Amino acid sequence: MSTIKEIFSGLYQWSEFSIEKQLNFNGYYLINNGESVIIDPPSLLNSDLQNLKALVNKNSNSPLKAILLTNVHHYRISQKIKEDFNIPVYIHENDSNALEFQADQTFVNNDKLFCGLTVIHLKNQKSPGESAFYLKEYKNIFIGDALIGKIPGKLNMLPSDRFLDIGEAKKSLQVLKKFDFDNLMLGDGECILSNGKKIFEDFLN
């Protein structure tokens, strides 16, 4: 596990290394527009959980509003975070029934969430509710399982057996081309912190 680090102004990340997958599972604490959210929270050491609580308290002028999940498999420690911070969990409506606990709210494609995030529903993925979150003003896209960073500076997909049809899954990612972004904040693996649109288009081609 890694300590919480600020990767951009108002955007913090922490990671849990998966021995099985041989890559990091990443979570985020985002502060924007006078509010904040947690996205796909992986496990934290107790000391780092205390650090997260201190960070949230330090930014009390941007109250923590919710946990946002990109897909059902990224619930991770959401239930503990929900209880510790007394905040709701949001997930796409297509994934809500598969969650191990009751989600508080659901969203659909193009919904506007906290912190200026817009939902992008990605079809034909590992889970039916797979979604990305777009933050226009900072040119960031948060992605769960639709893309992973197995190799630093490059994008990959999960193995083909995780999809009904990996070709259709890749085709559905074309929807991201219409968004203006530089950074890809990945749920699994190494994030793309610059030149993300070109790297993504190279991956598609």
pLDDT digits (tens, 9 = 90+) for 62-117: 999 999 999 999 999 999 999 999 999 999 999 999 999 999 999 999 999 999 99
Burial (CB count <10 Å: 0-12, 13-18, 19+), residue 161: exposed
| Distant-in-sequence, close-in-space partners of 11: CB < 8 Å, separation ≥ 6 | 28, 29, 30, 31, 138, 140, 185
- Count Cα neighbours of 88 within 13 Å in the Cβ-side half-sphere: 10
pLDDT of residue 1: 59
Binned at pLDDT 50, 70 and 90, residue 20 comes out as: confident
Sign, CA dihedral 82-87-90-96, equals positive
Instruction: Please name each of the domains of the chain with its CATH number.
Output: 5-204 (3.60.15.10)
| Distant-in-sequence, close-in-space partners of 50: CB < 8 Å, separation ≥ 6 | none
Distance CA 200, CA 205 (A): 9
- Count Cα neighbours of 196 within 13 Å in the Cβ-side half-sphere: 24
What is the distance, to the nearest Å, from the Cα of residue 68 to the centroid of all Cα atoms in its chain? 8
Q: State the pTM of this model.
A: 0.96
pLDDT at 118 over 80: yes
Give SS3 for 82: helix
